[in-house]
Chain A
Amino acid sequence: MKTLEDLKKLREQLQSDRKVRKMSSTQVIVGMGTCGIAAGAREVMIAILDEIAQKKLEDISVCQTDCIGMCQQEVLVDVVRPNEPRITYGRVKPTDVPKIIAEHVVNGRIVEELFVGKIEQ
């Protein structure tokens, strides 16, 4: 450690590992009720985590939520972008994940074929 720049570089690198401790402005929320898990929510969530890591996307929190009551539509995945309504997708399969991430999470375009509802924030 010889200069302030070295320290700054190291700090930035270290901070990205610790971003998990802050709720990001963009959130992807997976329904993890018993129904959701039975329908494959864990696999969908792992696909989401993989996709975010592979695409090196930052400032996204992956969270879980309880059963919201639309059990026939599971796996339910919600996407929240800053200052936009919360969009719920239904019957999500791991293969749908890259599309949701690329279209909606990154570019803000709702994926119509999976869309089941929206909540104004």
Chain B
Amino acid sequence: MEHIRAHVLLCAGTGCISSGSKKVEAAFQREVARKGLIDEIKIVETGCHGFCEMGPIVIVYPEGVFYCHVKEEDVAEIVDSHLYKGRIVERLLYREPISHEKIINYNEINFYKKQKRMVLANCGHISPEVIEDYIAAGGYEALGQALTKMTPEQVIDEVKVSGLRGRGGGGFPTGMKWEFAKKAAGDQKYVICNADEGDPGAFMDRSVLEGDPHRVLEGMAVCGYAIGASEGIIYVRAEYPLAIKRLKVAIAQAEEMGFIGKHIFGSDFDFKVKIKEGAGAFVCGEETALLASIEGQRGMPRSRPPFPAISGLWGKPTNINNVETFANVPQIIVNGGEWYASIGTEKSKGTKVFALTGKINNTGLAEVPMGITMREIIYEIGGGILNGKKFKAVQIGGPSGGCLPESMLDLPVDYDSLIQAGAMMGSGGLVVMDEDTCMVDVAKFFVNFTQSESCGKCTPCREGTKRMLEILTNITEGKGKKGDIELLQQLAKNIKATALCGLGQTAPNPVLSTMRYFMDEYEAHINEKRCPAGVCSHLSGYSITENCKGCGLCKQVCPVTAISGEVKSRHSIDQEKCIKCGACMGKCPFKAIRKG
């Protein structure tokens, strides 16, 4: 007889799948059967836990024991020890990066303890391909309440009271956006979910779609009811195959149970949802370019107004929100706008999901209340900088955002403070950089990105970013000259003021913010032909300082005989011959060799 006493939750997000969670799952099925525990143990595939660094992740309930980096060959031990005998497999537990303390329980890990998981509440805890799991977690209650107890105006009011602002980057008040679309005249209206997440290092929306797709569908349906739209379209990039697969499963299940379709909850409201796969052009995240792409044209922005709320898809009133914005909606309807507004700061309400990447110990997804400081995110949730190195900057907001230095770490994270500091919330990518990062190189990286993603429609973006990239490339190759900084500033100002769409208008931000906080690095590159971080290979030679005792060890180890010097006197490196391998630096007992 089947009596389930334990659930084994296996992460099947893209991150864990690529680190082998499918093999782990097969091994669990096999081992549980071998031990005769099939009637006692249930294996559940979930979405992303957000702690991708630690994958594949396995959680055993009811104890809530968190195992990380689980490999196929570890499974037999978990089954034999933990599931059969109740002994926790200590070697697979998580260790805190700084204290090295072993943590048994999921909720005790610093990475999770400091978070406030609302949008991600279900991610990692339910099976994204089982609608019953979503319903058991309170799913579709918001849609039911909205349709049976609220008028569309009340729904919009609740969203306005909540203070929810667009999570795609702009931060426009969602309730107001909905109101515009509702008031616009039109026989047919559309709800579009923008899932064209394209910032380098960002994967928040992907994880929500993979881990809790019904939440997004529910948010879209509530929006459809509020603005009077009967059709929803999810614009998702084709590079997210797992998200697309799970969305398709979710749509079919929701249709079957009547949450999508005709006369939902016995009302007159009809709503259908379809998926449009995008080809992965960054500019298609811009709403007018996205609309053009859905209509089958080239993904190019057009000037606004008219805004999509008045004239959107096929010229009809259209409301476009990002994945995370829609995912916030159900809880606002169920718990009320005031409850939501009690979280966060005065002008930025609720939580924000960030993708932590770069030189940080705990990479992954972190959902935090607005107003938390960058320092808390990086040091308490992120576990500090990798390999004990020094923090240098954090890049926030992707190619439209900026780099913030250490002096800005105590800045509260909300829409307005970030803009003041020269960055922006963007969609929530956080790239942490350590002392070995060259800020000019970083600026070049982002300008290179926007330059190659520029659609080419307007001159400021097409030509301006190209010129900026040329200047930055020259600077990093040692060909920088006097006047370059002023020229960059001038170009940045003009592009910001005249580009057609958000992509162009924000493209200079990474350059401006790095110049604002790290001007000394630009100057070192241009005036001293030196890259202080030792990243730019044209400039990052090795040199021997006065600490040299003339022992000759470096000379012996140099593979290209670039080092010369008499015994007991200071040696020197021939920069022409040097191949920058760094062997001399590793060998020198007196720390006399300097990089950069």
Contacts and interface: CB of A to CB of B under 8 A. Distances in A.
A1 B259 contact: yes
B3 A61 contact: no
B40 A49 contact: yes
A55 interface: no
Q: Which of A4, A29, A49, A62 has the most CB of B within 10 A?
A: A4
A2 interface: yes
B125 interface: yes
A63 interface: yes
A18 interface: yes
Nearest to A62: B5
Contact of A66 (B61, B87, B149, B266): B87
A34 B87 CA distance: 11
Contacts of A66: 85-87
Interface string B245-283: 000000000000111000001100000000000000000
B141 A7 contact: yes
A37 B85 contact: yes
A99 interface: no
B62 A63 contact: yes
A83 interface: no
B98 interface: no
Nearest to A52: B3
Range, interface on chain A: 20 to 34
Nearest to B84: A32
Give the interface SS of chain B, mostly helix, strand, loop or mixed. mixed
A20 interface: yes
B86 A22 contact: no
A50 B1 contact: yes
B14 to A, nearest CB: 23
A107 interface: no
B148 A4 contact: yes
A15 interface: yes
A18 to B, nearest CB: 5
B140 interface: yes
A21 B7 contact: yes
A20 B6 contact: yes
Contacts of A1: 140, 257-259, 265
Interface in A14-40: 14-15, 17-18, 20-24, 29-30, 32-34, 37
Q: Which of A20, A22, A33 has the most CB of B within 10 A?
A: A20
A61 B64 CA distance: 12
A10 B257 CA distance: 11
Interface residues of B, number: 34
B153 interface: no
B63 A63 contact: yes
Given A3-B148, A53-B3, A21 B265 contact: no
Contact of A11 (B84, B138, B265): B138
Interface string B364-378: 000000000000000
Contacts of B62: 20-24, 61, 63
B85 A3 contact: no
Contacts of A4: 141, 144-145, 148-149, 265
Interface in B1-48: 1, 3-7, 9, 40, 42
B133 interface: yes
A14 B6 contact: no
B136 interface: yes
Contacts of A33: 85
B135 interface: yes
B346 interface: no
A64 B85 contact: yes
Given A4-B148, A21-B125, A11 B136 contact: yes
16 contacts: A2-B258, A2-B265, A4-B265, A7-B135, A14-B132, A14-B133, A14-B136, A17-B4, A20-B7, A20-B61, A22-B61, A22-B62, A32-B85, A53-B3, A63-B86, A64-B86
Interface of B: 1, 3-7, 9, 40, 42, 61-64, 84-87, 125, 132-133, 135-136, 138, 140-141, 144-145, 148-149, 257-259, 265-266
Given A15-B136, A61-B62, 10 more contacts: A1-B140, A14-B133, A17-B4, A20-B4, A20-B7, A20-B61, A21-B9, A21-B61, A61-B5, A62-B5
